[in-house]
Structure 1
Amino acid sequence: MIVKADQTMHEKVMNYLSDEPALNLFIIADIENFGYETDFQEIWIELDDEEQIQGILLRYMGNYLPYAKGTINAKDFSKIINKDTKYEMLSGKKEITEQFRPYVKFERTKETYFAELKDNSLLNKNSSREGIQQAGLQDVDSLIELKLQIKEFTIRATARQSLEQALKTKTGRTYFMKEGKIVVSCASTTAENSLSAMIVGVCSHPEKRNQGLATQCMEALCHDVLSQGKALCLFYDNPKAGSIYKRLGFKDIGMWSMNFPVHMTVSENNITKEPLIK
């Protein structure tokens, strides 16, 4: 039986999601930030005869995120998606989203590796934190200026607003290094919640690459987030990037699949940029 979740089910929902906090990063963050009673977000759950959760589907605006610990009731959850004329994307672990293919039509699919870090055993405990700062609102312009110089990044018009919002709401943090008045490297989290956080925006100034600066920022960031009992995760697109993250202790936990209907075009609004370490 599929029912719409409300606040009275919150503890049961979070207990179900907490077994895989990195994989459920976006669902957990959306529930903690926006709850169950908004017009742009809805959560449905499938209950068995003993009223135990067997699967979850979250809608945030036109984006749908399904999750189950094995087989999901894709047929019945798909009826919800197919009624939505503003459906833009179905995303999640590939093994889950693939179960929707017989019922929801996808025009395009983008897949990335999904990696998780649970402990700091491989982080360099002797890495210097000298010069590493945690960003405040006063640093936003300098951080955006750095990102504008990274050719691998596409900076949206809303980038400054998004960064300010993350800092204000503590759903993201950024560690950075400066030389003089210029930010030369940084690493950030996004979708940070009580159980997990995602690493994004790891980069160094084009003239300061291959000096380990971004790695120092990332190691400090990872250490501090892990020390709060949170799991870390990130997307990456190629094995070269993956090898760098794995040296820090990240382990692949699957492929993340983003699936778009016929009327949607894959854009920067739909995907999270691959972190860049140089």
Structure 2
Amino acid sequence: MIRKLTENDRAALMELLLTEPALNLFIIGDVENFGFEQDFMELWGDIDPASGIIQAGLLRFYDSYLPFAGGPFEEKALAEIITQDPKFSMLSGPADIVHKISRSISFRKEKQLHFAELKNISKPLLEAVSSGAPIRKATVDEVEAVCRLTDQITEFESNRESSRKSLKKTLESGTGRTYYLEHEGQVIATASTTAENSRSAMVIGVATHPDYRQQGLATRLAAQLCADVLNEGKSLCLFYDNPKAGVIYKRLGFQDIGNWAMMYT
């Protein structure tokens, strides 16, 4: 049985989501930050009629949809909810769940990424943060300086205005943090988290200026960032599709836990 979820379903929903806090971090964060009564956000649950347990469901955040599941679910029913939305533009989530729903929807493009998680501080991670130039934590005053660096990173797909708005909003709301290193007043390396919630956070935006690469700067920043978040009792996760980046993250203790699919209409 599929129905809209309300505040009365919070405990049951969280019970399911927290079985996989890394894979479900976006939904956990959105529920913690926005609740259930927002125009830009809706939640549906696939509920077992016999037990009343939420076994799967779907989040709408603006024009994007993100499914979650703890077992078998009504794939076609969730797909029908999505296709009834004329503004629908993207379906993303754990690849196995997304691909089941996508059987009933036509998509123009698919992108798939590796999904990795870090739960404990490793020895290599501690060694990476042991020495070096002072690491700084960005405030909204450093948004422009940080974005001047990320503007130069060809792998990052965002425009100048949106990247600045996004970083500013994240820092103001406390749903993420950004660490950086500078040289002669210029930001030369950075690493950030986003979608932080009470149980998990996602590492994003790990970058080094082209003139300062091969010095381990981004690795050191990512290690410090991860150590601080882990010390707060949270787990970390990240996406990657670059094998070289995957090797670096695995040295810090990240382990692959699945694939993440993004389907575009």
Q: State whether structure 2 residue 214 is matched by structure 1 residue 210.
A: yes
Which segments of 5 or more consecutive residues in structure 2 lack a partner in the other structure? none
Q: Distance in 1 between matches of 2:125 and 2:101?
A: 42
The equivalent of 2:183 in structure 1 is 179
Aligned positions of 1:6-155 closer than 5 A: 6-48=6-48, 49-126=50-127, 127-128=130-131, 130-155=133-158
Deviation at 1:129, TM superposition (A): 6.0
Match of 1:274 in 2: none
Matched with 1:271 is none
Contact 2:176 2:192 in 1 (8 A): yes
Distance 2:25 2:123 in 1: 23
What is the RMSD computed on CA atoms of the aligned residues? 1.3
TM-score w.r.t. the length of structure 1 is 0.90
1:62 Cα offset (Å):
1.1
Provide the C-alpha distance between the structure 2 equivalents of 1:248 and 1:105, rounded to a whole number of angstroms: 39
CA contact (8 A) 1:72 1:99 kept: no
Which has the larger helix fraction? 2
1:120–1:160 Cα change, 3 Å: same
User: Which is worse superposed, 115-124 or 148-157?
Assistant: 148-157
The one-character-per-residue Cα deviations of 1:39-60 (angstroms, maximum 9, x if unpaired) are 1110001111111111011011
- The question of whether the paired residues in 1 share the 8 Å contact of 2:125 and 2:227 is answered with no
* Offset at residue 172 of structure 1 (A): 0.9
User: 1:102–1:158: structure 2 CA closer, same or farther, 3 Å change rule?
Assistant: closer
| CA apart distance, 1:130 | 4.2
Listed one character per residue, the Cα deviations across residues 156-202 of structure 1 (whole Å, up to 9, x for unaligned) are 12111111110110111001111121111110001111111111111
- 1:128 is displaced (CA, Å) by 2.0
Residues 151-230 of structure 1 mapped to structure 2, 5 A cutoff? 151-156=154-159, 157-230=161-234
From 249, 257, 263, the counterpart of 1:259: 263
The CA deviation at 1:145 is 1.2
| Letter aligned with residue 155 of structure 2 | E
Gaps of 5+ in 1: 262-278
2:12 alignment partner AA:
K
Q: 1:12 to 1:111 in 2, by over 3 A?
A: same
Whole-angstrom distance in 1 between the partners of 2:123 and 2:99: 33
Q: Relative to structure 1, is the Cα distance of residues 209 and 63 closer, same or farther in structure 2, using a 3 angstrom cutoff?
A: same
Amino acid at match of 2:177: R
For residues 65 and 86 of structure 1, the distance between their equivalents in structure 2, rounded to whole angstroms, comes to 15
Q: Distance in 2 between matches of 1:53 and 1:139?
A: 43
Are the equivalent residues in 2 in contact too, given 1:147–1:155 (CA < 8 A)?
A: no
User: Residue 129 and residue 211 in structure 1: after superposition, are their counterparts in 2 closer, same or farther (change >3 A)?
Assistant: closer
- Give 1:115 shift: 0.7
Deviation (angstroms), 1:122: 4.0
Q: Secondary structure at the match of 1:211?
A: coil
For the Cα contact (< 8 Å) 2:79–2:102, is it kept in 1?
Answer: no
Could you tell me whether the CA contact under 8 Å between 2:219 and 2:248 is conserved in 1?
Answer: no
Distance 1:3 1:129 in 2: 54
TM-score, length of structure 2 as denominator length: 0.94
Residues 186 and 202, structure 1, Cα contact 8 Å, conserved in 2:
yes
* 1:265 matched residue in structure 2: none
Report the Cα offset of residue 222 of structure 1: 0.2
Distance 1:94 1:88 in 2: 17
Deviates more, 1:130-139 or 1:144-153: 144-153
CA contact (8 A) 1:129 1:220 kept: no
Structure 1: how far apart are the matches of 2:154 and 2:88? Answer: 31
Deviation per residue, 1:87-138 (Å, 9 max, x gap) = 1111111111111133222222111111111111244324226410111111
